[in-house]
Copies of this chain bind each other. A is one copy, B any other.
Amino acid sequence: MARYSKEERRKLLKEALAENPFFTDEELSERFIVSVSTIRLDRGELGIPEVRERTRAVAQEAYSTLKSLDDQELIGELMELVIGERACSKLVVDESMVLTKARVARGHYLFAQANSLAIALVDAKMALTGSVELKFIRPVQLGEVVLAKGVVLKRKLNKYWVEIRLSVGAEDVLCGNWVLFAIEDPAGIRGEME
């Protein structure tokens, strides 16, 4: 027997997707203990598009927010960006990113995903990384999907403290603290990092 009435379920479904638009139909079907086709029907009734389309819409909004980087300069796929607050990106580890011998992602790809997300969080035309302390927690295998989450911990004038955490599923794979500098005039960047 289903746990919720149809009306209840649709209300909760709408709320769940408003909070996290990345839930798949499969995940929702487990959550509400109904079949995947019931979830599809619910979405149809509620006028909510499928997850791929929802992700695209969210990503477009996130990309349009980018200020300190160009679209193609962010490593990974941007999923959320509230400049000065928090951001999220996704990177699928492909053949080009792994070490030949070990088949695990090379450190600088994970660094690039984290570093470019940290830069995206800075509210300025440009940002430079000042210092970084980071820890690689476990290697990332070919084909794994790395989710990066960034949070601005503190800001003082043009200086930002950002925490970045990379995970695969429920496991953290990298975490680190970045100090960055907002630069309003790209022509005068020399010496501004002191």
Contact = CB atoms under 8 A, between A and B. Distances in A.
A108 interface: yes
- Report, as a range, how many residues of chain A touch the other chain: 35 or more
B129 A132 contact: no
Contacts of A107: 115, 119, 128-129
* Chief secondary structure at chain A's binding surface: mixed
B134 A131 contact: yes
A193 B139 contact: yes
A131 B138 contact: no
A119 B70 CA distance: 31
Interface string A100-122: 11111011100110011001000
A12 to B, nearest CB: 38
Contacts of A130: 135-136
Interface of A: 69-70, 73, 75, 99-104, 106-108, 111-112, 115-116, 119, 125-126, 128-139, 183, 186, 189-191, 193
